[in-house]
Amino acid sequence: MIQVGIVGGAGYTAGELIRLLINHPNAEINFVFSTSNAGNPISKIHQDLVGSLDLKFTDTVNANVDVLFLCLGHGNSVKFLEANTFSENTKIIDLGNDFRLEADKVFKGKTFVYGLPELQREAIKTANYVANPGCFATAIQLALLPLAEANLLNNDVHVNAVTGATGAGTSLSPTSHYAWRDNNFSYYKPFTHQHLGEINQSVKQLQNGFSSEILFMPNRGNFSRGIFATVYTDFEGTLEEANALYKAFYKDAEFTFVSDDFLHLKQVVNTNKCLIHLHKHNGKLLVTSMIDNLLKGASGQAVQNMNLMFGLEETTGLGLKATYF
List per-residue pLDDT tens for the chain, 325 residues long.
Answer: 999 999 998 888 999 999 999 999 999 999 999 988 999 999 999 999 999 999 999 999 999 999 999 999 888 999 999 999 999 999 999 999 999 999 999 999 999 999 999 999 999 999 999 999 999 999 999 999 999 999 999 999 999 999 998 765 556 577 777 777 788 999 988 999 899 999 999 999 999 999 999 999 999 999 989 999 999 999 999 999 999 999 999 999 999 999 999 999 999 999 999 999 999 999 999 999 999 999 999 999 999 999 999 999 999 999 999 988 8
Domain 135-291 belongs to what architecture? 2-Layer Sandwich (3.30)
How far, CA to CA in Å, does 39 sit from each of 36, 43, 57, 74, 202?
A: 9, 12, 5, 25, 41
Q: Which of 135, 162, 206, 306 is catalytic?
A: 135
The segment(s) of the chain belonging to CATH 3.40.50.720 are 2-132+298-309
pLDDT value of position 123 = 98
Q: How far is CA 148 from the centre of its chain?
A: 20
CATH 3.90.480.20 fits 2-132+298-309, yes or no: no
pLDDT value of position 171 = 60
User: Do 217 and 188 touch, CB atoms closer than 8 A?
Assistant: no
pLDDT value of position 136 = 96
Residues 6+ apart with CB under 8 A from 69: 4, 5, 6, 7, 14, 17, 93, 95, 302
User: Do 101 and 86 touch, CB atoms closer than 8 A?
Assistant: no
Cα separation of 126 and 124, whole Å? 5
pLDDT value of position 178 = 75
pLDDT value of position 172 = 59
Cα separation of 207 and 233, whole Å? 15
The segment(s) of the chain belonging to CATH 3.30.360.10 are 135-291
pLDDT value of position 170 = 56
pLDDT value of position 168 = 58
Residues 6+ apart with CB under 8 A from 66: 2, 3, 4, 89, 90, 91, 310
User: Do 225 and 121 touch, CB atoms closer than 8 A?
Assistant: no
210 φ, ψ to 5°?
-60, 125
| Annotation says 71 is catalytic | no
pLDDT value of position 165 = 84
